[in-house]
Structure 1
Amino acid sequence: MKFSELAAWIGGATAALTDFWQETGLTGAQLSEKLDPEISNAVPFAEAQKGSITLLDSLKKLSSLAGSEASAVILPKDAEEKLAADGMKKWNPKGIALLFSDAPYQDFAKIVSHFDPPIPRPAAGIHPRAFVDETAKIGQNVTIMANVCVGPNVEIGANVILHPNVCLMEGVKIGDDSVLFPNVTVYEKCIVGARCILHAGVVLGAYGFGYDSSSGRHILSPQLGNVVLADDVELGANTTIDRGTFGSTRIGEGTKIDDLVMIGHNCQIGRHNLLCSQVGIAGSSTTGDYVVCAGQVGLADHISIASHVIIGAQAGVPGNLTEPGTYLGAPATNIQEMKRQFVAVKQLPDYWKTLKALAQKEQKAAVR
């Protein structure tokens, strides 16, 4: 595919390189090839070679352009102004074909899909090696692959895809257009909303870690609730969400949860949260809307996190966070206060030297 064809398809502006290449003395076919190279693949920036188009999605990375071997690069629209102001040779000494886009990330994704089309949706139908209980209700255009187990009174909406070895226990409900990847287990009475994605190894509805120890032994507490995922929730591989004791553990609409996240029983997770890998949320905790927990954040049990809170990686949260903002450290503290603490800690060696010198001075004075 010629670069000019690709640019016309995407609809972005291209860099004017005719003068640049004519100054090198190129003419004819050689000039045409430089101005309109053949594009055969779309790859990440570090992998780009001749014939590749790649993505440079930030002006901060513009200096990397000079070292690229790509035949073409897609850039954000504001890069066009900067290149015009500073001169093409400063940032693009190799004269790489450039495509400027208002949405470079999305446009590059379209180009990648063109050269490497995604695997099509599997055909609808029930595999002969799947088990589907006779009381289950199956919607239209559902795909049930080999070794799937669908228990009694399960309800599956339209266009759902169940990959191999998915297990849906009694009374489970799966909303329209949801996808469950291999080895997902959904315990009895749990509910998955529409357009949800559950990656391999997800477990919904296992017993909560709650015990009555009053007798001197750890006796499992009642586990009579369920897990409810609202619409458009995504769960990463091997994430687990425990069922409520009497009610529901809930995950709010649009929340996205990374791999290896654990959410305890009775938790109420708000809408549009982002929970990164290895986050752990102990039982009966609540988050508001648009909360972000970076990797390895730990939330204690029975606490509440306000909406629009961002918690930095490896932070430990022992109590409520009632104000929107960014929090770091253990115990998690507002970022401004934590920055002051970081500065103070870095200065401790100097303070120690000063104190030591003062102590030695006092000792010498006392001897006299």
Structure 2
Amino acid sequence: LRAAGSLRAAGSLRDRAAESLRAVESLRDREDWSGSACHEARVAPSAVVHPGASLHASVVVEPGAVIFPRVRIEADVVVGAGSVVGRAGFGWAQGPSGAVRIPQLAGVILEQGVELGANCTIDSGCLRPTRIGRDTKLDAQVHVGHNAQLGERCLIAAQCGFAGSCEVGNEVRMGGQSGVADHVRVGDRAQVAAKTGVIRDVPAGEVVAGFPAVSRNRWLRATAKLFSGR
């Protein structure tokens, strides 16, 4: 009987939690996109900037870009054509009737000198802002998940992906189509070869390649052995 009572209580808590999540999420439907948060920023006519965003006067927002609320964009940032900054991150909880979105209300911070290439997507954080550090440059079609933290002066090639809550240090270099798993840390000045899958921490200064990511020299030896037929 006690077990049955515990199950009923747990079910009731899940129901109430799901209702609360739906109530908070419904606020998004009432957001007003009228007005302007741009002031003197250079925003293309076809770009859309929510008035709840904050843009420095020197920011450039190229055609077709969308800036959601709770986004702070500092001086000398360029948001590439078609990029989306601050949309709700991929956070879900299993409710009694299916998946329920977890509110993503912490926003995004793009620090001074950041540049986003065309069609980048930077998700809003849930409990802390998603952050891209000073002078970091992203190529086209890069995705940064909710709560991720990218350091300063990083160079990120096209089609890289950063899962939620990963951390990337300063001056990191990442080749095209490489990715970092959630809650993984890449140390300062690390280099990640193209098409590498980083699923565990990478020490500072390390050069890695392959899937799963290993030292580049080890990966080259393994690849040579594979194709040598021995």
Equivalent residues of 2:38, 2:49 under 8 A apart: no
Query: Does residue 154 of the first structure (1) align with residue 41 of the second (2)?
Result: no
Q: Find the counterpart in structure 1 of residue 196 from structure 2.
A: 315
Matching residue within 54, 59, 63 for 1:178: 59
TM-score, normalised via structure 2 length: 0.82
Q: CA deviation at 1:325?
A: 2.1
Q: CA deviation at 1:189?
A: 1.7
Gap runs ≥5 in structure 2: 1-31
Query: Does residue 324 of the first structure (1) align with residue 205 of the second (2)?
Result: yes
Q: Find the counterpart in structure 1 of residue 187 from structure 2.
A: 306
Equivalent residues of 1:298, 1:317 under 8 A apart: yes
Q: Find the counterpart in structure 2 of residue 279 from structure 1.
A: 160
Equivalent residues of 2:70, 2:105 under 8 A apart: no
Distance 1:153 1:185 in 2: 13
Q: CA deviation at 1:343?
A: 2.4
Matching residue within 233, 250, 258 for 2:139: 258
Query: Does residue 296 of the first structure (1) align with residue 172 of the second (2)?
Result: no
Matching residue within 239, 243, 256 for 2:120: 239
Q: What are the equivalent positions in structure 2 for 1:1-368 lying under 5 Å apart?
A: 151-152=34-35, 154=37, 156=39, 158=40, 160-213=41-94, 215=96, 217-347=98-228, 349=229, 351=230
Report the AA paired with residue 131 of structure 2.
R
* Greater length-normalized contact order (CA 8 Å, ≥ 6 residues apart): 2
Report the AA paired with residue 184 of structure 2.
I
Secondary structure at 2:223 match in 1: helix
Report the AA paired with residue 289 of structure 1.
N
Distance 1:215 1:306 in 2: 40
Equivalent residues of 1:152, 1:171 under 8 A apart: no
Q: Find the counterpart in structure 2 of residue 75 from structure 1.
A: none
Equivalent residues of 1:201, 1:239 under 8 A apart: yes
Q: Deviations over 1:141-166 (max 9, x none)?
A: xxxxxxxx97457253x5x2111211
Q: CA deviation at 1:218?
A: 1.2
Q: Find the counterpart in structure 2 of residue 53 from structure 1.
A: none
Distance 1:275 1:187 in 2: 23
Number of residue pairs aligned between Structure 1 and Structure 2: 199
Q: CA deviation at 1:201?
A: 0.5
Q: Find the counterpart in structure 2 of residue 144 from structure 1.
A: none
Q: CA deviation at 1:346?
A: 2.4
Q: Find the counterpart in structure 1 of residue 20 from structure 2.
A: none
RMSD, aligned CA: 1.7
Distance 1:234 1:151 in 2: 26
Secondary structure at 1:213 match in 2: strand
Q: Find the counterpart in structure 2 of residue 33 from structure 1.
A: none
Equivalent residues of 1:170, 1:189 under 8 A apart: no
Distance 1:214 1:293 in 2: 37
Report the AA paired with residue 154 of structure 1.
A
Report the AA paired with residue 188 of structure 1.
P
Report the AA paired with residue 303 of structure 1.
V
Distance 1:336 1:252 in 2: 30
Q: Deviations over 1:185-237 (max 9, x none)?
A: 10012111101111110100011111002546211011111011000000011
Q: CA deviation at 1:292?
A: 0.9
Report the AA paired with residue 138 of structure 2.
I
Distance 1:221 1:311 in 2: 32
Secondary structure at 1:342 match in 2: helix
Q: CA deviation at 1:182?
A: 0.7
Distance 1:316 1:215 in 2: 35
The structure number with the bigger radius of gyration is 1
Q: CA deviation at 1:287?
A: 0.2
Deviant stretches of 4+, over 2 Å: 149-156
Secondary structure at 2:146 match in 1: coil
Equivalent residues of 1:203, 1:241 under 8 A apart: yes
Q: CA deviation at 1:171?
A: 1.7
Q: Percent identity?
A: 31
Q: CA deviation at 1:345?
A: 1.3
Report the AA paired with residue 299 of structure 1.
V
TM-score, normalised via structure 1 length: 0.52
